[in-house]
Structure 1
């Protein structure tokens, strides 16, 4: 159960207020300060965050649209609990979205961005060798953000900006599609080579195999 002490007041002179409240509430859902099933009251949240009810209501509407909050009119607004089907659908979406982003970003990104991407894939390769699922996921999340930004495509970036928190929440407890660490690492090494040589089509195809998609 969350308390007022769980939230620092929002700085009204910083980012756009509605975006800041959205990020704060999303982060609280991700780290468990706002737990699945917890009732969300706009007056209470506004008091904790030191803002009016309007940006809180706007943030809750955005969180509802991406599935992190569920609303029953005149009954409740609460944090949702992702089902297995939602988790599976999110994994499929994230893998396909990242694959599309890779195919765009790898041929066109700067040398610096490419080097950063390869370095992150190296981290994924090492985590796969160690069969460290948590670190594979953490490094993959870093790669996701970098690659989407490197697409230089505003539509991709906006989808990522709005959906990032839902993707991260729904993929909690993720496990690799390829269970064998040797086979999985071989595929990640192939993915690294495709990224390093700017072969976007091959990188996308390899990523799909890694995630069990054809």
Structure 2
């Protein structure tokens, strides 16, 4: 196989985390394509590291479904999961994060969350679905921090890359920009009022789960 990576330049982070991040990014951007076989020795040589951090990174990626391992046969980049399953998981998780943020965020954190929400509302009123997906994910990522829940952060540290891969071709449930923008505005206003229950209800309507 052709050399696909420049050797890692140590940045002070744990080597295993750096290898994991590099491989995850390569899967996301298609450098490592779905179905492509992965050989730990080859990856280690490309990255200029030993096989140990590569094996650890592949195990982490297997746990979240980005890598498929069949013992004594192959290790390969997994095919994408069903987008609907991942989007359902994200929507329900985002509802819980909304409730936690509404209940416990400081005023300053809430204002920052609303800045992200305003960007999302603006994108929802347009026709650029990729922009809406990008703004929505930025908001979702912020909520994982704003909710101030250690368990959520631990889960997302491992699952984030798989979620990003599975929903990269996401399309909004509400097709009409006017109706869609109105729902996103309702969600934003409920969060601003710290009404987590209403915000979660609107979020489910946005994603067709009500």
| Alignment correspondent of 2:20 | 22
| Alignment correspondent of 2:37 | 39
Mapping of residues 40-79 of structure 1, within 5 Å: 40-79=38-77
| Alignment correspondent of 2:117 | 121
Q: 1:200 aligns with which of 177, 180, 196?
A: 196
Question: Take 1:137 and 1:51, find their aligned partners in 2: how far apart are those partners?
Answer: 35
5+ residue gaps in structure 2? Answer: none
SS at match of 1:74: coil
Q: 1:175 aligns with which of 168, 171, 174?
A: 171
Q: 2:156 aligns with which of 150, 155, 160?
A: 160
Aligned length: 210
**TM (normalized to structure 2)?**
0.95
**TM (normalized to structure 1)?**
0.93
Question: Take 1:8 and 1:112, find their aligned partners in 2: how far apart are those partners?
Answer: 41
| Alignment correspondent of 1:81 | 79
Question: Take 1:182 and 1:171, find their aligned partners in 2: how far apart are those partners?
Answer: 23
SS at match of 1:131: coil
Question: Take 2:9 and 2:90, find their aligned partners in 1: how far apart are those partners?
Answer: 32
Residues 58-98 of structure 1, C-alpha deviation per residue, up to 9 Å, x if partnerless?
11111111111111121111111114xx2111010011111
Mapping of residues 124-143 of structure 1, within 5 Å: 124-143=120-139
Residues 20-77 of structure 1, C-alpha deviation per residue, up to 9 Å, x if partnerless?
1111111110011111111111011111111110110011111111111111121111
Question: Take 2:85 and 2:22, find their aligned partners in 1: how far apart are those partners?
Answer: 25
| Alignment correspondent of 2:105 | 109
| Alignment correspondent of 1:148 | 144
5+ residue gaps in structure 1? Answer: none
8 A Cα contact 2:120 2:139, kept in partner: no
Question: Take 2:44 and 2:129, find their aligned partners in 1: how far apart are those partners?
Answer: 37
CA 1:47–1:106: 2 relative to 1, 3 Å: same
Question: Take 2:195 and 2:111, find their aligned partners in 1: how far apart are those partners?
Answer: 14
8 A Cα contact 2:129 2:172, kept in partner: yes
